[in-house]
Structure 1
């Protein structure tokens, strides 16, 4: 904004840069030599907001602003708007002639007497405005032109055409279609158009930042760029609807403001036309054949004519389609209808849509009054189809409505329990489970042991509270009862998948017995995905080639799978046996759906699988972002178990990168929650991070203790999911602490398991472990075998660790040239990954071969801020954090935080190593950046 000279619009309206530019040019012209402009546009498009922006800009720059607005109830009051406009300047009347002063005084109601001639009043008003403008420019702002009283409108039209050279601007606003407003006809116009999609999204997001993306898109589509509708439509939704925890109605409701805006043009339509508009709105497809069949009237097309004449809709005879001029016209038709009219319209549409079961089910449900068994059954089926398409929210909404329509208590209870399970397992509604199960118990007090109830309760217990033992007992009891009755295989398969996850989380062999027993009783009826997951997810160390072939068959269909739960289950089955490449795209599809308010709970599980996959593949930044998203989303929804799985991944990353305190803190958080609850799988993952952190620090005794707590030496525990992944950690720690016999026993255990010959990552770990325990004269061959593992490069951290160990061995046996080659390769890989402790170790070994400074170190100089460099120098000189703080006017905690960031940058883990590390930092480093 230019504060000098003519006024320019201030402030910011989303998507209105072009309109504001037009107003800026207008204000320049008006302040210089007079001008008039009429803003036109549909109701709610933002004309009034633009008038406000112009008025504010003009006032700020010293322009005198006079304003008035038409009002429907004042339309018959003569000179009402002119009175609004001129009241602030009535003190200037004394400067007018007696004729003009008397004409305005009587016309505006300040003096009794006969009303003056319209020409005299108009001339008096123009003269008064010119007189006011002699001191400073004047801007006349008039909103809602069509509602101005005719007398005032005539005066303003007269004034608007005589502004040349007067330093007066007249800015008015009128709805599109009101061009027959003769008093101001012919004046310059600017059409204010609806916002584009990007600006519309921005506007909605600014007002409703937590709205789910798919709900926001629905609002943007319905509003068609109308700013008022964009802001008011969400206000008419419930809080649960806005965040996609509850399905949106087929026709969006209107706020009172929008009702007044869009419904007023429908009040004069004939009843038959309004009924057709209601049918069209509720149908939502625009198909004239459906509309005609539902209307049950031979002359129904003629009934649309009044709505066409009122420009509310268009009919295309060629395509047999009807389109409403604005989607909210349909919402207005629904709002104006009585409940009886809406029910009859839904019933008529249900009769027509016999070949579209989902739509028919919902129309029947909306037409029902009281219990309706057939409608409830159809909604049950619609919920199944919604689930298969990944729309958990829609499925829950259908089940809850079906429960409302259920004539019997057991049916109502069953549907409520299923809604609780689906809501928790797919839609992110874990916290709603207790309330829905309570309603189910009230509906059927004797049905508390049903399979659906047990599935919901066990999922809530395990995923939210971490009570895996309680969840196991509840679900096993229900499954055993179901096996004795006529329960469908699909329900049993779903329940057994839940039991599989509970057994996996327990990390103990005992809970698996019940699952194996139930699977044996089902026999060939057991689903393929569940059959495979029992091995590859439940006991990955004991997976066989036959298991992997079956898994590959399941993965082959994952890209065509729409059900997020099935995709996640396949991903889990593949996650421990190197088969995630074929699942990654589908898992990200689940995450994308969850981000938009779809299957949120499935998205949390998918994020956990994907962050572990990214860690193993060396994509550590991706792993960090994905794990953080899993933790944040899981915590927000109350899904503690998967959330803490994400925390385990973050702890592992911290350990690998040398952020030891962070690793220990995160692992401690996991153990403190999982330990008392018996969630051993989480505990084992935390122990894994602790073991890696201890290895990075060179504390091999602690590393051995943590790794052995996962799986004792000589045993790769079958029901401990991470046991195969810590084999190298355990063997290295055992060798380093003189426990060669234990190390060799663990290598022998790996050799006895088929999976260590089938999965590239496990082949690499087994071969690397064998090389660490091999005698000096046979170690090179073992290391070469490990390095030649097909696909080893897909696991760069483990591969670099084996290469580091190979280089260390070669240096010990004085094969210096070969040692340098492997140590440099390991250093480059660790540096690229950000595995600082391992890079420091590799560089130390490389220097021991006679290489004074590696090319990698020169290529990636350390960057310390000036403050970090100064604090490091003082710490290296032996000062305590408190002494450094006194010298630099910092708190000891701030000093500690700086050193916490410095240590990983320098690739060290203790204060004692600061002096040597700083000696390797170029002198100019301390001058880079700003602290």
Structure 2
């Protein structure tokens, strides 16, 4: 190609749109900003010349950015020269400059003699003497100007800190003088590294770690099958470092990547990752490396490690040396030792010898003798032989970890304890207990299964142990839904329990049996549970005893049990397992309000690395149920979606169907009947063949509600009576407390007045009105529905709607108002009817209960009222605050988020939205966006 053609082609590639650059290899994940930066840099290079230094931590992707720039430049017709700094024991004169100039030897013939002479040494043809640096610099610039006469020129240098001094001086001289030359200088430098190269006057782009989203995308693209907790651990350790994200999983075994084997305290490194830090560590003296090793093995940043590392003899400060090497520093504010990157810690541990590690752990065990858990772990790391003392210490540490929300830490400690067990039976028992925590709390099903198999291999007699049966039952129940198999195992486990003497396994077995019986949903399953509770007598823990009444059979819950439950709620602590147990006791007796704060904390802990994921799933399901019942349907849907995501990630199929029940209920209440049908079809198809009666009842409960909303009272009756026949409240069937209104209303509307009366009588005989204000409101309202005398019915409706706290259950409250309003209209009490119907309509609109709002509107029309209380759509403008809140709600924000954004209370936000809906003529949040877009300016 001729010189003119070459320049023309290059010019076309550098057009205003930059299309040539954008057609080159796509930007690496998360580096879109760098791609744009390089495009601008290359345009400037081709126009007037430019210089840029790309800086960042090791592994940030500096070389990748330089490679991308070189590829884009070459494709655009820019001549590219590449060089790289190389670590060397001796300073090789002109080492990197020689790499750059050798390809340009042919251009030297056109230079003046003085310039050719000055370039002999950089080209490797000198007599060994060092020429004047200014002469060499001038000659290099002259040579490059000759080369760029044909096309723009780009010099790309990787690892500037490793340049030899002469090359660094000359290239620095050049980089500061590229303006106006059509020469580009692009280099990379490790952040904070010492260097001969002076970049103080050059623009520097800091290559930041990848964002959390980009890091996740990169990790998923390379390793899509990582276990959820393994993925979370790698993301935390890599901290957005691309090299770490692609290399850390490679250093793990296949079982570790899948999540079925434990991860070590410090993740292993590939040779490539290790090389990033090894050279720096090798240059440090022993005292500094000892400090780094002690700090790495401690892992908490405890500054007491400093004193242990410094020792009694005076000498250079090891902390100062570590700080100069950019590996470790002391945070003065918190007085904690902080590594510059988590991988520094892993590298230090990886490079230490076995004896160095044991000695350091021994010193740390002594240093932290006042902390039982830390002392146990370091003693174990320093130990070699089985030692029951260490095993017992680790087992106690595991129990404390579980209480503190560190479920994965509890599994690790119990597994480690098994390794120090002297007796094979104890070794197997501890492995089985680790499996229980893995499947029952931390969400590690695969690993729990592996631990259980290991336990059984330790001692064949362990098949009959309580721990092995609990672990096996959890594995059967949570995924396959084999409730019958789980029940058989647990009945065998609790049948052997004669006392509770401080060992938590029998208590765990009883809770597991209770949950299995609940999901089995057949009263006969409960007999072994109640027999065991009776047999153990006063030794049964208070929470378990209360659960045995309020969760197992809420219809028969005694006043004493409810009082004890209130005390347990008031005394809730941070133990995630205990929180779930108390919340289960509260679930069906309408007392979850007092548990909400504790449940939210369990959810937060469950999202942390190693947190109690299964406890978080239970918490999300219970919060979702409570949110639905109390009219917070957006929040209910969010809880269900998050629970379902965790269930699908961790393969907890059974609990996922509870989340689907919440989704089906929200859809039913909002009028999305097709979705309710689809979700409940899936629930029934899974539950019926497996005899998982609780999931069946959940499905029928959602369907009964959807049918009531659709006005199909016959179908609502059929679905409600799938749970229990009219007039019957079978024991151990808590769902009957939630379909009472649907059942009685559907009986009335299908002319089954005798059945309706029988059901009301059964509720009164069981005394369920005493369980909670909600049930008092429902029972009284249902009694009003079956009462023939108009005056008596009026009094009962009024009593039901005035029950204390009834507003908390706003949907059921509004449904009773609608039923009451309909009855008033039919009896000719038009004015009173309008008052009830209008208030019900406002509640339905606020909730987004479209089908019920439509029914209320039709009833109001039948009274002769052509519009609701207030003003018709568009006749009264939204206030500024209402418009602001409506816009945020239309954008998908929850009331809680809106309240935080605008510094309001959630109740204030809800009140504003309650006024917005009728002004815009909508009945749900989903319709807000279109209503706001179509509203005339005067209406907004």
**TM-score normalised by the chain length of structure 1:** 0.82
Matched, 1:502 2:530: no
Partner of 1:65, secondary structure, is: strand
The Cα offsets for residues 6-54 of structure 1, whole Å up to 9 and x where unpaired, read as 9999887899999999989977876665565656666456554554566
Residue of structure 1 equivalent to 2:896: none
The Cα offsets for residues 276-324 of structure 1, whole Å up to 9 and x where unpaired, read as 43223222455565554578x5327657389459545567999997665
Greater mean deviation of Cα atoms: 686-695 or 40-49: 40-49
Residue of structure 2 equivalent to 1:575: 587
Change (3 A) 1:159 1:583: closer
Residue of structure 2 equivalent to 1:477: 492
Matched, 1:267 2:267: no
Residue of structure 2 equivalent to 1:623: 636
Residue of structure 2 equivalent to 1:208: 219
Inter-partner Cα distance in structure 1 for 2:447 and 2:549: 33
Matched, 1:142 2:157: yes
* Shift in Å, 1:78: 6.1
Aligned residue among 282, 291, 296 for 1:281:
296
The Cα offsets for residues 256-277 of structure 1, whole Å up to 9 and x where unpaired, read as 2332222212224444553343
Q: Structure 1 regions of 5+ residues with no counterpart?
A: 862-904, 908-920
Residue of structure 1 equivalent to 2:597: 585
Greater mean deviation of Cα atoms: 822-831 or 9-18: 9-18
Inter-partner Cα distance in structure 2 for 1:41 and 1:690: 58
Inter-partner Cα distance in structure 2 for 1:292 and 1:99: 62
Residue of structure 1 equivalent to 2:455: 440
Residue of structure 2 equivalent to 1:827: 841
Partner of 1:66, secondary structure, is: strand
Aligned residue among 548, 562, 571 for 1:534:
548
- 2:493–2:509 Cα contact (<8 Å) kept: no
Inter-partner Cα distance in structure 1 for 2:238 and 2:681: 50
Aligned length: 863
Partner of 1:156, secondary structure, is: helix
Inter-partner Cα distance in structure 2 for 1:7 and 1:814: 77
- 1:544–1:755 Cα contact (<8 Å) kept: no
Within-5 A mapping of 1:452-851: 452-483=467-498, 488=502, 490-558=504-572, 561-597=573-609, 598-777=611-790, 778-851=792-865
Inter-partner Cα distance in structure 1 for 2:586 and 2:279: 59
Inter-partner Cα distance in structure 1 for 2:359 and 2:652: 43
Inter-partner Cα distance in structure 2 for 1:712 and 1:319: 64
Change (3 A) 1:36 1:393: closer
Partner of 1:371, secondary structure, is: coil
* Shift in Å, 1:153: 4.5
Change (3 A) 1:580 1:157: closer
**TM-score normalised by the chain length of structure 2:** 0.81
Within-5 A mapping of 1:297-308: 298-299=312-313, 302=316, 304=318, 307=321
Residue of structure 1 equivalent to 2:439: 424
Within-5 A mapping of 1:233-252: 236=251, 249-252=264-267
- 2:216–2:235 Cα contact (<8 Å) kept: no
The Cα offsets for residues 171-204 of structure 1, whole Å up to 9 and x where unpaired, read as 43445666562xx5486245565748xx654553
Q: Structure 2 regions of 5+ residues with no counterpart?
A: 1-12, 876-920, 924-929
- 1:4–1:61 Cα contact (<8 Å) kept: no
Inter-partner Cα distance in structure 2 for 1:167 and 1:749: 92
- 1:504–1:721 Cα contact (<8 Å) kept: no
- 2:260–2:450 Cα contact (<8 Å) kept: no
* Shift in Å, 1:650: 2.2
Residue of structure 1 equivalent to 2:897: none
Change (3 A) 1:809 1:267: same
Change (3 A) 1:308 1:230: same
- 2:51–2:186 Cα contact (<8 Å) kept: yes
* Shift in Å, 1:784: 1.4
Inter-partner Cα distance in structure 2 for 1:517 and 1:437: 28
Inter-partner Cα distance in structure 2 for 1:564 and 1:703: 38
* Shift in Å, 1:127: 2.0
- 1:674–1:680 Cα contact (<8 Å) kept: yes
Greater mean deviation of Cα atoms: 16-25 or 26-35: 16-25
Change (3 A) 1:856 1:466: farther
* Shift in Å, 1:569: 1.6
Partner of 2:369, secondary structure, is: coil
* Shift in Å, 1:163: 4.7
Inter-partner Cα distance in structure 1 for 2:445 and 2:18: 59
Partner of 2:577, secondary structure, is: helix
Partner of 1:67, secondary structure, is: strand
- 1:687–1:710 Cα contact (<8 Å) kept: yes
Inter-partner Cα distance in structure 2 for 1:315 and 1:821: 69
Change (3 A) 1:54 1:8: farther
Inter-partner Cα distance in structure 2 for 1:320 and 1:610: 39
Inter-partner Cα distance in structure 2 for 1:602 and 1:568: 7
Within-5 A mapping of 1:122-521: 122-149=137-164, 152-153=167-168, 155-157=170-172, 159-160=174-175, 163=178, 165-175=180-190, 181=196, 184-185=197-198, 188-190=201-203, 195=208, 201-208=212-219, 236=251, 249-271=264-286, 273-285=288-300, 287=302, 289-290=304-305, 292-293=307-308, 298-299=312-313, 302=316, 304=318, 307=321, 311=325, 328-483=343-498, 488=502, 490-521=504-535
- 2:824–2:833 Cα contact (<8 Å) kept: yes
Within-5 A mapping of 1:17-166: 43-44=58-59, 47-48=62-63, 51-52=66-67, 55=70, 63-72=78-87, 80-86=95-101, 89-90=104-105, 92-93=107-108, 95-97=110-112, 108=123, 122-149=137-164, 152-153=167-168, 155-157=170-172, 159-160=174-175, 163=178, 165-166=180-181
* Shift in Å, 1:720: 0.4
Inter-partner Cα distance in structure 2 for 1:430 and 1:186: 53
Inter-partner Cα distance in structure 2 for 1:703 and 1:15: 52
Change (3 A) 1:497 1:168: same
Inter-partner Cα distance in structure 1 for 2:597 and 2:681: 33
Residue of structure 1 equivalent to 2:905: none
Inter-partner Cα distance in structure 2 for 1:161 and 1:171: 12
The Cα offsets for residues 687-706 of structure 1, whole Å up to 9 and x where unpaired, read as 22222233233333332232
The Cα offsets for residues 352-393 of structure 1, whole Å up to 9 and x where unpaired, read as 322111111111221222423222211111100011112111
Inter-partner Cα distance in structure 1 for 2:330 and 2:704: 72
Inter-partner Cα distance in structure 2 for 1:6 and 1:652: 53
* Shift in Å, 1:451: 1.0
Change (3 A) 1:579 1:127: same
Greater mean deviation of Cα atoms: 426-435 or 167-176: 167-176
- 1:674–1:683 Cα contact (<8 Å) kept: yes
Inter-partner Cα distance in structure 2 for 1:161 and 1:844: 80
Change (3 A) 1:419 1:301: farther
RMSD of aligned residue pairs (Cα, Å): 4.3
